[in-house]
Amino acid sequence: MNTLITGGAGFVGSRLAIALASEGHSVVVADNLSATAGWQLLGPRVAGVLRAHADIRIPDDLDRLPAGRWDRVYHLAASFANERSVAHPELDATTNVEGTRNVLAHARARGCGLFVYAGSSSSYGDVEPPFHEDGAMRPGTPYAHTKLAGEALVRGSGLEHAVLRLFNVYGPGDVPDPWRNAIPNMFAALHAQEGRVTLFGEGATRDFTYVGDVVRALLQAERATGTVVNVATGVETAVREVATACLQVADAPRDRLVVGDRRGWDRVVRRVADVSRMRQLFGWTPETGLSEGLAATFAWLRAEGLLSRTAR
């Protein structure tokens, strides 16, 4: 299969590229490296994976990608995530909306067989959990809005498509970064001398989904052709519980956990997916447990020397 992955130098995309190549598929990774320090997450050059420096906001960059038909386009490039979008909403408009429109036009011109879009659980906003694909949506941040707008563009494109709404992905490949996800930032914060893990308000829950399970679903995306599906565990986990588990994995004392104020932009207290559609379409739901996933994440961060990266 001839495959294009936009955003393939990032966390999820790099794991997907390696998995596709190991199954013998030919992969072109297109990325402007804006969120990554380079191609490091892809590791050493892998046979079958071609790296193209391209910005999805620039149609000429897409035109310059290697010629030929794409059997499948995975569109993962995005300005990620909520907090960054509040500070830089213009990036979300140009990347997540206009960029998605450009990638769709490119895919159409290249006879794309299946267009796979990484949607986001953030787009549900503060609705009543569990979140069902056909239920209410109340996006609150520019990121949540623009990821939903991207879905609308994909669904109206006329291309064969599948929209996979990912829930709080974590695992090896997710780097500590002030704008990014909680788990690597918690590990990095603990690593700092006298480091503290900060909970931003009490009572928050999320549906933490291990990257290996997400990649497995992306590889089988044809099962969701023509529809939207949550990719999640269906397990509602308190962020406090995750923070406590991080302390255990990192062998840090419990008093390192402190509670701060809720962040003004974050109005979603409870988040968990209804996974009945995923179970029906895929025949499985993610099975990697939190303790196993957190241990793998911590081991990866340590092995890569990333624990001393600036955390939130």
Ligand X SMILES: NC(=O)c1ccc[n+]([C@@H]2O[C@H](COP(=O)([O-])OP(=O)(O)OC[C@H]3O[C@@H](n4cnc5c(N)ncnc54)[C@H](O)[C@@H]3O)[C@@H](O)[C@H]2O)c1
Which positions touch ligand X (CB under 6 A)? 6-7, 9-13, 31-36, 55-57, 76-80, 95, 99, 118, 120-121, 147, 166, 168-169, 181
Whole-angstrom Cα Rg for the chain: 19
Cβ of residue 127: shortest distance to ligand X, in angstroms?
Answer: 16
Nearer Cβ to ligand X, position 133 or 256? Answer: 133
CB of 128 to ligand X, least distance (A): 20
Cβ neighbours around 134 below 10 Å, total: 9
- Rounded least distance, CB 307 to ligand X, Å: 18
**Shortest Å, Cβ 81 to ligand X:** 7
Strand 237-238 with 257-260, pairing: unpaired
Residues linked to residue 72 through DSSP beta bridges, in sequence order: 3, 114
Measured from the Cβ of residue 236, the count of other Cβ atoms closer than 10 Å reads 15
C-beta closer to ligand X: residue 52 or 245: 52
Closest residue (Cβ) to ligand X? 10
Q: Which of 117, 124, 143, 210 is catalytic?
A: 143
Closer residue to ligand X in complex, CB, 123/249: 123
Q: Is 143 a catalytic residue?
A: yes
Three-state SS for 72? strand
Please identify, using beta-carbon distances, which residue of 118 and 252 lies nearer to ligand X. Answer: 118
* Sequence-separated (6 or more) residues with CB below 8 Å from residue 7: 13, 30, 31, 75, 76, 77, 78
User: Going by C-beta distance under 8 Å and a sequence separation of 6 or more, which residues neighbour residue 243?
Assistant: 182, 186, 197, 199, 257
Tell me the three state secondary structure of residue 183. helix
Residue 168 beta carbon to ligand X: minimum distance, rounded to whole angstroms: 5
Between 52 and 252, name the residue whose CB sits nearer to ligand X: 52
Distance CA 141, CA 129 (A): 18
Q: Would you please indicate which residues are annotated as catalytic (active-site) residues?
A: 143
